[in-house]
Structure 1
Amino acid sequence: MAPPSSSSCVHPSSAGAPAPPVPGADAPPARRIVVAHRLPLRASPDSDSPFGFAFSLDPDALSLQLSRGLPAPVTYIGTLPASAESKIVPSDELDGYLLEHFSCLPVHLDGDHHAEFYHGFCKHYLWPLLHYMLPFTPADVVGSLRFDAASYRAFIAANRQFAGRVIQVISSDAGDLVIVHDYHLWALPTFLRRKCPRAGVGFFLHSPFPSAEIVRSVPVRNELLGGLLNADLVGFHTLDYAHQFLSCCSRLLGISSNTSLNGHTNINYHGRTVLVKIFSVGVDMGQLRAALASPEAAAKAKEIAEAYRGRVIMVGDDDVDLFKGVRLKLLALEKMLEAHRDMARQVVLVQINNPARSRGRDVDAVRVETRRIEQRINKLLIRFGSELIVVTIDGPVPMSEKVAYYAAADCCVVSPVRDGLNRIPYFYTVCREEAPGARKSGAVVVSEFAGCSASLGGAIRVNPRNPEALADAMRAAVTMGAEEKRARHRTNYSYLSAHDVATWARSFDEALRLACRDHAAMMFVGLGFGMSYRAVAVGPSSQRLTAERVRPAYRGAARRLILLGYD
């Protein structure tokens, strides 16, 4: 059967009720409810399973990794793995099984609505805008980057369905906290705030946050900004992204931020304090170490050593999309080889292309263009007696094999034109340090437009749109002296060893508890409908002041009382 509701949420009409009592010692332990688009599950066909699939936790799932430092217990909410979603019949039995064995509660979205929500609004409208692509970009470049009311309705409906699942299991009176991951669930805080005004909700954006001029072009900008402001904590990868968000709130909503005495940046939104913070997302050291120690990694490492003996290996690992800059990387490699023909026999670029996360002609165009440049480079150099310079591996490639390429490569090249973080240089650095027989050195060439560039003090930062500069950076990384390479590597690894995924989880959880510590003492009044909803918070001192003013005039008289405004 479906999991019983332990929710202490209230209906909007009773949102102004007195605060509930503080739970006693016999209250159930507070949970962390982690919500992401996908559950951290793998599903493989299994005829012996009553559901047709065997499930297991996915160690590569970011939502699982970023829960390592959270207090137990943790409940995960999201959709089923894509490989199984359309083939499984939703049922109470399935929901109960996944909740009992994996602490996962699935959200069952109808196939067409899911596609409209994810591929329509999220990936082909919201995601490009977050990466600084304007709606008036020529249609032949982006296909159909325009606001579509139907896909937006699907986005809202999906977020509402996610909120319904959270409400089934949350008990805000017991101190449960909700951690929401990424832009797919941008509207979720609004629906949670409506039904559960005292719920502690933290939202972390894994993508960039664009300038106010980009956000201004969105027809539903106020509703989307209000969605984030309905959370108690809004987290970003970098200071730049946080500043852009604060600027949008100021310029588009007229809401300013302030810095408290303890240094926290916050926004007062209808009496509620919204905390805005930077959180450094690192890597799951345990997962990488397990992958490095696997037999698959050892076998792949031997294969790589034999295949590229005597050559300098550069590695790239990118999703197939408009913003990863693989084309720019290949053009820079071509320029480097044209200027330094002697390097043709020395280097090889192993480019891992991960499966695209969305579909469309923009993705197809990226594939065609990169393949064309790759073939041109290889044909030119084979004509001069050189071996293949670009070796493309089309994914998916398991982490147990990727780590072998990271550990074997002398240089890692990451060249996106815009990226929220990009952890590939992080993975590379840890593997160069901790792989069996590791050289404990390595060079990283990273785009200054990737979020990770700010944290990698030992990397060579470059503007990937300047092909000459990128070519020079790649050559510098390949020809770098051993001592400089070790020093740069030590700088990067020192940062990563101090900022792993558990550090992120502990920091986020601590900030979220701080942000909603006064909820139990507050009275909430709901205003607005749909995405315009906001919960007006009235603190204890305001409640007492209002009561003291009203009682003398109201006592002993049959009068009607009308309260205007929340003061």
Structure 2
Amino acid sequence: MSRLIIVSNRVAPISEGGPAAGGLAVGVYDALKETGGMWFGWSGDVLSSGQPQIAVEERGPVTFATIGLLRRDYDQYYRGFSNATLWPAFHYRADLVQYDRHDFEGYRRVNAWLAQQLVPLLRDDDVIWVHDYHLIPFAQALRAAGVHNRIGFFLHIPFPASQVLLAVPPHRELVEALCSFDLLGFQTKPDLRAFCDYIVNEAGGSVERLDDGLTRIDAFGQTLRAGDYPIGVYPDEIAELAKAGERGKPVRTLKATLHGRKVIMSVDRLDYSKGLVERFRAFERLLDQAPSQRNRVSFVQIAPPTRADLHAYQDIRLRLEAESGRINGRFAELDWTPIWYIHRQYERAVLAALFRASHVGYVTPLRDGMNLVAKEYVSAQDPDDPGVLVLSCFAGAAQELTGALIVNPFDTDGMADALAVALAMPVAERQARHRDMLAQLRQNNVSVWRDRFMRDLSRVGKREAGASAAAGVVPMPLAD
């Protein structure tokens, strides 16, 4: 049986019951620990000098192969092109794109170097599944190194419309690199449409919808397949975590402090794409327009730090602290704090229990690939007395969770209205909405996501020797 090789920028230090990890890490690890295989990528270590060496660790059925990055590579590949250029562009924030051609060269160089580190670990029948925007050139680098294994790619974040992607100067090189994969996976149909639109209108390629539901793409001398694969969660596992934590200290403390008030709960990484400032202002508008809600509801925003060495993230933290202070200063009473803004990380089980104890899940990103927090919130609810999900139309999860109250995060009044509706919704309606969403989550859990992608990748023939050279793929320079 073929091994599954997962490649991602970061190999997350996941431990059972440990701190909550991001959607990519949770989805990948849940998929890999069922099948066994290898997870390869950056260890998270940044080295000032020397030659990084691969560390291999066996944990049950999973082999973790990790390697550190030199400071220059971290600055150019990770801080630079990945997160100062690609992340804002792919989240439709062209105004925040910072491009430096040396960073792009570093991005290509590190992808080629990482590919070279993986090559000696590969077997002929391995199936390679590469994840996310940090590694767009990875298959191209493997092909240049003579690897002909099946290679799939899954993008966890949105794929932008062509006119937005054009804001990234090397956009053509990026899309050409994507065409070295055998199968491309996107979170939603709109993301897939955006990619196909670029292929046809900017790259001069062709697309064809096939009977098996996939899309055939011919571009840059390559033929590949693409499809949409919405990532899921294990809802029953999350429900068990939530029930187990109901009597834990965090939930007991929350309930004791709130004295019977209702809770609006949000959990997000501290990121400008999450719509946190807009969310705070919509809650303020609710208190403005519905004075009866004052001293009857509190909004808890948990926002763990992320990429703290980037200026854009420092700015969003300062803005949130200012907004929460301003709103609390305006509305707070001696026995009531409207907004609890918590800038720290909690374990996954604690978050699930807090979701279960809250009356409204408030998930309103300005743009998001999927947003597993929305799915985890629904999963954690008590079916007899579930909370209500208020969800941005720009989250990929909105394509599936139609039982949520879908809002536009740029519409402050609309979000405030949705919060009011959610807080007043009768139990029968809450139960019906929750039942429909939970059925959808069970039908498309993370195993289904993995199995659909791997099934489609297995249908793709291995690349013939010499195909990469015929398509004009040339080796990239390695890291110094």
Q: Give the TM-score of the pair, scaled to structure 2.
A: 0.91
SS at match of 2:268: strand
The equivalent residue for 2:451 is 506
The equivalent residue for 1:119 is 79
SS at match of 1:426: helix
The equivalent residue for 1:105 is 65
Task: Confirm or deny: 8 A CA contact 1:441 1:490 kept in the other structure.
Answer: no
Could you tell me which of 285, 288, 307 is aligned with 1:357? 307
The equivalent residue for 2:289 is 339
More divergent stretch after superposition (440-449 vs 279-288)? 279-288
Distance in 2 between the 1:508 and 1:88 partners? Answer: 39
The equivalent residue for 2:415 is 470
The equivalent residue for 1:524 is 467
Deviations 1:182-202 (A, max 9, x none): 000011011112223521000
The equivalent residue for 1:401 is 350
AA of the residue aligned to 1:76:
W
The equivalent residue for 1:442 is 387
CA RMSD of aligned residues (A): 2.8
AA of the residue aligned to 2:469:
G
Alpha-carbon offset, residue 100 of structure 1:
9.2
AA of the residue aligned to 2:40:
I
Q: Give the TM-score of the pair, scaled to structure 1.
A: 0.77
More divergent stretch after superposition (107-116 vs 416-425)? 107-116
Distance in 2 between the 1:500 and 1:198 partners? Answer: 31
Distance in 2 between the 1:299 and 1:445 partners? Answer: 27
AA of the residue aligned to 2:346:
V
Alpha-carbon offset, residue 146 of structure 1:
3.0
Distance in 1 between the 2:220 and 2:102 partners? Answer: 30
Change in 2 beyond 3 A, CA 1:89/1:151: closer
AA of the residue aligned to 1:425:
A
Distance in 1 between the 2:146 and 2:60 partners? Answer: 25
SS at match of 2:377: helix
Alpha-carbon offset, residue 40 of structure 1:
3.1
Alpha-carbon offset, residue 493 of structure 1:
0.9
SS at match of 1:354: coil
Distance in 2 between the 1:237 and 1:191 partners? Answer: 24
Quick check: 1:34 aligned with 2:6? yes
Trace 1:45-64 onto structure 2 (pairs within 5 A): 60=21, 62-63=24-25
Quick check: 1:171 aligned with 2:123? yes
Alpha-carbon offset, residue 235 of structure 1:
0.3
SS at match of 1:107: strand
Name stretches of at least 5 consecutive residues in structure 1 with no aligned partner: 1-28, 44-54, 534-567
Change in 2 beyond 3 A, CA 1:442/1:362: same
More divergent stretch after superposition (288-297 vs 200-209)? 288-297
Quick check: 1:460 aligned with 2:405? yes
The equivalent residue for 1:74 is 37
Quick check: 1:151 aligned with 2:95? no
Alpha-carbon offset, residue 485 of structure 1:
1.0
Change in 2 beyond 3 A, CA 1:508/1:440: farther
The equivalent residue for 1:261 is 211
Alpha-carbon offset, residue 326 of structure 1:
0.9
SS at match of 1:378: helix
AA of the residue aligned to 2:467:
F
Alpha-carbon offset, residue 87 of structure 1:
9.8
The equivalent residue for 2:273 is 323
Trace 1:59-458 onto structure 2 (pairs within 5 A): 60=21, 62-63=24-25, 65-66=27-28, 68-69=30-31, 72-80=35-43, 82=44, 86=47, 95-97=55-57, 102-134=62-94, 137=95, 142=96, 145-172=97-124, 174=125, 176-269=126-219, 272-285=222-235, 288-289=238-239, 291-292=241-242, 298-382=248-332, 387-433=336-382, 439-458=384-403
Task: Confirm or deny: 8 A CA contact 1:226 1:532 kept in the other structure.
Answer: no
AA of the residue aligned to 1:432:
Q
Name stretches of at least 5 consecutive residues in structure 2 with no aligned partner: none
Deviations 1:214-239 (A, max 9, x none): 22232212210011110000000000
Distance in 1 between the 2:115 and 2:129 partners? Answer: 12
Deviations 1:82-120 (A, max 9, x none): 3x555999776x724458995011133212311321111
SS at match of 1:345: coil
Change in 2 beyond 3 A, CA 1:86/1:523: closer
Alpha-carbon offset, residue 317 of structure 1:
0.8
Task: Confirm or deny: 8 A CA contact 2:57 2:65 kept in the other structure.
Answer: no
Distance in 1 between the 2:59 and 2:378 partners? Answer: 36
AA of the residue aligned to 1:253:
A
Distance in 2 between the 1:530 and 1:486 partners? Answer: 57
SS at match of 2:332: helix
Distance in 2 between the 1:187 and 1:254 partners? Answer: 20
Alpha-carbon offset, residue 180 of structure 1:
0.4
Task: Confirm or deny: 8 A CA contact 2:236 2:379 kept in the other structure.
Answer: no
